[in-house]
């Protein structure tokens, strides 16, 4: 390029310098305006999203509160709501800046069964945002627990030799020494454990303290429950063992029971009122009602609940027909035995129980305890194996450990019968609580 051309180009740039600056300013202004608009729009969208999220969370917690109110209604409804038609429990209940409506739909299967189920649906709104949740609940029985106590009966220890399988609860403070194994979740209404020497329990499903207490029923509650569901048209088999009488029931593997009632003469001989009466379990309407105390043993083939107004004494193993040689019930078994004593359930100090004892059943001691006769004396009796469920108002001892005389009674080997998640002995008492079997957020 020649010198003259270079000078001409420089002059042109100088002449248009102000124009270029103006164009650059215009372009820069447009760019900044676009960025500002985009930022403004982003802030608006983020604000809306944040606001919607906050309202969505408010609606969710309002729905959860409505669910709790519906559950509370069911807990205090006595008897539980009947029929199968859904009904609105609460409509457009205002909570803060939102509102909710709850409906309860009884299961169609509620007619003909005393374990009631309900589907609760709660719809909540905050502004233009709505959330819906649904939960299925059912009445909870004492068979829900592998182990339940109202009181721990003072300082009775769970030790390293103890294995508790399945859900466990106590209204009282639980004493633990060494390293017992708790295979299911453990809950207690107390706020701490009583920690003994070498405290190192194995909580395989965790634990929770400070939970609500479980209330125990009385005899009349059990009878009323039976009459409500049975209607009284098919009365239970009633065995009268009052007034210095004794009774014994043997469960037979063919689906029958053999029972006798007697009293002792002044010289000690038995005078039978009823002797070796044989009755089919299928004919007793799901319940055997003993007025007085009773000794029991044998092999259960069928389903029945045994209720006694006095002590129930287990004089030998009680196992299901469909169980293995060790007394472990088959998962496919339909055999079920409920054992309810208004006083105590006692492992009797018999020759048969001196070398281990196996119990298949769902046990409930309303007045006092599940315990072992003369547990503090004699040689160790091996292992007490329970496959089922155990609830007792006051925890009773089944043995001792250590000390000057060594161990006595039994080591504990308690296993929860997992079938009790879906099955229960006939007319077995409910706890007044509900358990959640399913929960769904319908908003997603």
* pLDDT tens string 341-375: 999 999 999 999 999 999 999 999 999 999 999 99
User: 108 pLDDT exceeds 50?
Assistant: yes
Q: Is there a domain that residue 444 lies in?
A: no
pLDDT score of 400: 85
Contact 257, 250 (CB under 8 A): yes
**CA 194 from chain center: how many Å?**
24
Instruction: Classify residue 443 by burial, with Cβ atoms within 10 Å: 0-12, 13-18, 19+.
Output: middle
Do 171 and 109 lie in a common domain? Answer: no
Do 102 and 200 lie in a common domain? Answer: no
Nearest CA to 441 out of 57, 107, 117 is that of 57
pLDDT score of 161: 80
Q: Classify residue 80 by its DSSP letter.
A: P
Domain that holds residue 98: 1-127
Do 56 and 202 lie in a common domain? Answer: no
Could you tell me how many helices (H) and strands (E) the chain has, helices first? 2, 30
pLDDT score of 336: 97
Do 308 and 335 lie in a common domain? Answer: yes
Render pLDDT for 174-221 as a digit per residue (tens, 0 to 9).
999 999 999 999 999 999 999 999 999 999 999 999 988 888 888 888
Q: 430-441 and 87-95: which strand pairing?
A: unpaired
Q: 194-195 and 357-365: which strand pairing?
A: unpaired
Q: Is there a domain that residue 323 lies in?
A: yes
Where is the domain boundary, 71, 96, 127? 127
Q: Is there a domain that residue 137 lies in?
A: no
Using left for φ > 0, alpha for ψ between -120 and 50, and beta otherwise, residue 383 falls in: beta
Q: Is there a domain that residue 438 lies in?
A: no
Do 114 and 76 lie in a common domain? Answer: yes
Where is the domain boundary, 127, 156, 177? 127
User: Residue 375, CB half-sphere, CA atoms under 13 Å: how many?
Assistant: 17
Per-residue pLDDT band for 276 (boundaries 50, 70, 90) equals very high
Contact 182, 168 (CB under 8 A): yes
- Torsion sign, CA atoms 309, 232, 226, 80: negative
pLDDT score of 190: 95
Q: Is there a domain that residue 62 lies in?
A: yes
Do 150 and 95 lie in a common domain? Answer: no
96 three-state secondary structure: coil
Contact 333, 327 (CB under 8 A): no
Do 356 and 248 lie in a common domain? Answer: yes
Do 158 and 120 lie in a common domain? Answer: no
Task: Provide the whole-model pTM.
Answer: 0.77
Q: Is there a domain that residue 436 lies in?
A: no
Instruction: Report which of residues 230 and 10 the model is more confident about.
Output: 230
Render pLDDT for 37-73 as a digit per residue (tens, 0 to 9).
555 555 455 555 566 888 999 999 999 999 999 999 9
Q: Is there a domain that residue 225 lies in?
A: yes
Question: How many whole angstroms separate alpha carbon 164 and alpha carbon 240?
Answer: 36
Contact 395, 375 (CB under 8 A): no
User: 3 pLDDT exceeds 80?
Assistant: no
User: Residue 307, CB half-sphere, CA atoms under 13 Å: how many?
Assistant: 25
**How high does pLDDT run on average in the chain?**
87
Q: Is there a domain that residue 113 lies in?
A: yes
Where is the domain boundary, 77, 94, 127? 127
Do 374 and 272 lie in a common domain? Answer: yes
Do 251 and 398 lie in a common domain? Answer: yes
Residue with tokens 């100090």: 349
Do 147 and 113 lie in a common domain? Answer: no
Number of domains in the chain: 2
Do 70 and 175 lie in a common domain? Answer: no
Q: 87-95 and 98-106: which strand pairing?
A: antiparallel
Question: How many whole angstroms separate alpha carbon 196 and alpha carbon 402?
Answer: 13
């Amino acid at each position: 390029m020649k010198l003259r051309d270079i000078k001409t180009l420089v002059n042109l740039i100088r002449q248009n310098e102000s124009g270029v600056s103006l164009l650059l300013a215009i372009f820069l202004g447009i760019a900044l305006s676009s960025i500002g608009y985009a930022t403004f729009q982003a802030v608006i969208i983020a604000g809306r999203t944040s606001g919607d999220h906050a309202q969505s969370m408010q609606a969710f917690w309002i729905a959860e509160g409505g669910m709790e109110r519906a559950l509370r209604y069911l807990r205090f409804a006595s008897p539980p709501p009947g029929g199968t038609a859904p009904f609105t429990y609460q409509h457009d209940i205002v909570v803060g800046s939102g509102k909710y409506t709850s409906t309860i739909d009884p299961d169609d299967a509620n007619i003909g069964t005393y374990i009631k189920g309900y589907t609760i649906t709660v719809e909540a709104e905050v502004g233009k945002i709505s959330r819906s949740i649904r939960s299925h609940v059912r009445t909870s029985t004492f068979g829900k627990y592998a182990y339940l106590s109202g009181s721990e009966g003072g300082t009775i220890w769970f030790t390293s030799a103890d294995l508790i399988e399945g859900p466990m609860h106590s209204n009282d403070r639980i004493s633990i020494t060494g390293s017992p194994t708790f295979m299911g979740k453990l809950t207690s209404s107390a706020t701490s454990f009583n920690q003994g020497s070498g405290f190192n329990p194995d909580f395989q499903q965790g634990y929770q303290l400070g939970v609500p207490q479980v209330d125990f029923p009385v005899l009349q509650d059990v009878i009323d429950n039976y009459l409500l569901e049975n209607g009284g048209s098919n009365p239970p088999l009633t065995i009268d063992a009052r007034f210095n009488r004794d009774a014994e029931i043997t469960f037979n593997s063919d689906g029958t029971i053999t029972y006798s009632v007697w009293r002792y003469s002044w010289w000690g001989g038995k005078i039978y009122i009823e002797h070796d009466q044989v009755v089919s379990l299928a004919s007793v309407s799901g319940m055997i009602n003993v007025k007085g105390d009773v000794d029991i043993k044998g092999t259960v083939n069928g389903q029945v609940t045994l209720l006694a107004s006095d002590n129930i004494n287990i004089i030998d193993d009680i196992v299901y027909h469909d169980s293995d040689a060790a007394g472990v019930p088959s998962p496919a078994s339909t055999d079920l035995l409920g054992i309810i004593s208004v006083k105590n359930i006692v492992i009797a100090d018999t020759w048969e129980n001196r070398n281990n004892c196996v119990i298949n059943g769902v046990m409930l001691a309303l007045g006092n305890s599940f315990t072992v006769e003369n547990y503090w004396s004699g040689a160790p009796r091996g292992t007490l194996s329970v496959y089922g469920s155990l609830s007792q108002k006051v925890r009773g001892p089944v043995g001792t450990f250590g000390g000057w005389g060594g161990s006595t009674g039994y080591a504990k080997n308690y296993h929860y019968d997992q079938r009790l998640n879906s099955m229960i002995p006939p007319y077995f008492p409910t706890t007044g609580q509900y358990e959640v079997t399913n929960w769904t957020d319908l908003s997603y």
